[in-house]
Amino acid sequence: MRIISGFLKGRSIYFLKNFKTRPLKDSVKENLFNILEHSNLINVKIENSDVLDLYSGVGSFGIECISRNANKVTFVEKDKFATKKLTENLNKLSILDKAELFNLDIDQYLRKNLSNKFNIFFFDPPFADKIFLNYLILLKKKKLFKKKHIIVIHRERKSEEFFEKYINVINIKLYSRSKIIFGTFN
């Protein structure tokens, strides 16, 4: 797994070889970041943004954001083995100062007394997970988003969630087995 752009371009990151985590494929990640950086539909720039990477796994998305000069990335991952690899990645790349890591269930994290607000939200739950929709509701209720923000959700292509009930859907892109949804809170 490699970093595709920014000051860490070309560097590799550790990943897990198990069935609990599913890394974001480089081709999907490249297209996703291309849209984030170049789409006229999105008014958020990665540079200087505060990012919330939920279900972060080994940190592929958030580390890519740091490489592209995000202000700070908050990683939330409950799997202890993934969190260990994520910590190794942050250390290996010397970017711990740009990261905040929580080895918690997302529900536990969101129920904390949070004051941070974010520009970019990335959800990459297991494809069978439907609970993440509740987290969209909680994020909106707690007003953890800045005025200029974007929500990015990675799902299985054939998933049938109705995101319009939770967010204002801006764009949906399909890549082999993946579906990427871009949206904002109303």
Provide the pLDDT for residue 103. 96
**Domain total of the chain:** 1
Residues of the chain with pLDDT under 70: 18-23
- Domain membership of residue 9 (yes or no) is no
Q: Which domain holds residue 34?
A: 30-184
Provide the pLDDT for residue 21. 56
d(CA 24, CA 1): 9
For residue 121, which of 104, 98, 108, 140 has the smallest C-alpha distance?
Answer: 140
- Domain membership of residue 22 (yes or no) is no
Q: Which pTM does this prediction carry?
A: 0.94
Give 175's contacts (C-beta < 8 A, 6+ positions apart). Answer: 25, 27, 28, 31, 157
- Domain membership of residue 141 (yes or no) is yes
Q: Residue holding tokens 């209720």?
A: 141
Domain of 84, CATH number, reads 3.40.50.150
Provide the pLDDT for residue 18. 61
- Domain membership of residue 5 (yes or no) is no
- Domain membership of residue 145 (yes or no) is yes
